[in-house]
Amino acid sequence: MVDLTERKRAEEEIRESERRYSEVQMELVHANRVATMGHLSASIAHEVNQPIGATLNNASAALHWLSKEPADLDKARDALNRIFANGNRVSEVVGRIRALFKKAPLRKEDVDINEAILEVIALTRGEVVKNGISVQSHLGDGLPLIQGDRVQLQQVIMNLIINAVEALSAISGDPRELVITTGKGEPDGVLVVLRDSGPGLSSLGLERIFDAFNTTKPGGLGMGLSICRTIIEAHGGRLWATATQPRGATFQFTLPARSNQAS
C-alpha cells in the first residue's frame, strides 16, 4: 500500500515538473520567436547580400563590356564567370541553412490534443484577460491520440490563439469571442477549430496569409502561419482558414490518429 502511494506521488511529481517544464518552454518559445527570427534573418541577409551585390556589379560590368565598339568579349566573359561563382555561393548558403533545419528530427510521442490545448489556453490566459476576450472551449470526448511533437503542436495552437487575440483586440463595441472546438476528424484523427469574432481576413487573401513574410501588423514578421502549416503538414495533417459568419476568421487543422491504435 505504502509503496503504491509513494509511487503514485512520485509519478504525480514527475508529471507536475514536466508540466512546469513545458510551460517555461512555451513561454520561451513565444518570447524568443521575434528575437530568434530577427537574428536569423540578419545573418542570412548578411551571408546572401554580399554575393548578390557582387552579382549586380558584375552584371553591369558585363553589359558595359558588351556595349563597347567593338565589344570586349574577354572582359564580358570574366564578369559572367564571376556572376556564376557568386550564384553558386548563394545557393550553397541556402543549402546549408536548409540542412541545418532538416537535422532536427520530429519527436514522436503520444499527444492528447485536448490536454495540449488546455495547457496553451492556461498559458495565454493573461493576454486573453488583459484584452477583455472570452475564450470558450468545446473539447470532444474519446478523441484518438496523436503521435508527434507536443511542443511543436502547442506552438501551432499558441500562434493561432495569439493571432486571434491580436485580431480581436482591434475591434471595439462588439463582443470579443474565441471558440475552440475539437472533434473527430475524417476518416480518423482529430479536427481542431478556432473561430474568432474579429475583423476577419479581408485585406490578405485566405491563402496568402500562409505565405512567409505576409503580414498586416506594424511589427509583424508574417512567419507564424507559414510555420504553423509546416508543422501540421509534417504531422500528416492540414491547416486552412475560412471566413466566420457574420464576421471573423476560422482556422482549422486536422491531425491523423496514431497509426497503430483502433479508432
Considering the rule CB under 6 A, would residue 163 count as an interface residue with ligand ADP?
yes
> Closest CB to ligand ADP among 77 and 217?
217
The distance of closest approach from Cβ of residue 249 to ligand ADP in the complex, given in angstroms and rounded to an integer, is 4
Considering the rule CB under 6 A, would residue 161 count as an interface residue with ligand ADP?
no
Total of residues contacting ligand ADP (CB under 6 A): 22
Binds ligand ADP (CB under 6 A): choice among 120, 167, 179, 232: 167
Query: x/- site string to ligand ADP, residues 177 to 206, per CB under 6 A?
Result: -------------------x-x-xx--x--
H or E element, residue 32: helix 2-67
Tell me the Ramachandran region of residue 222: left when phi exceeds 0, alpha when psi lies from -120 to 50, beta otherwise. Answer: left
Give, rounded to a whole angstrom, the gap between the first and last alpha carbons of the chain: 35
Are 191 and 184 spatial neighbours (Cβ–Cβ below 8 Å)? yes
Give the contacts of 144 (CB within 8 A, at least 6 positions apart): 184, 188, 189, 190, 257, 258, 261, 263
Judged by CB under 6 A, the chain residues 72 through 101 that form the site for ligand ADP are: none
Nearest to 126 by CA among 165, 164, 93: 165
Query: x/- site string to ligand ADP, residues 205 to 234, per CB under 6 A?
Result: ----x----xxxx--xxxxxxx--------
| C-alpha span between 33 and 232 (Å, rounded) | 18
Binding site for ligand ADP (CB under 6 A): 159, 163-164, 167, 196, 198, 200-201, 204, 209, 214-217, 220-226, 249
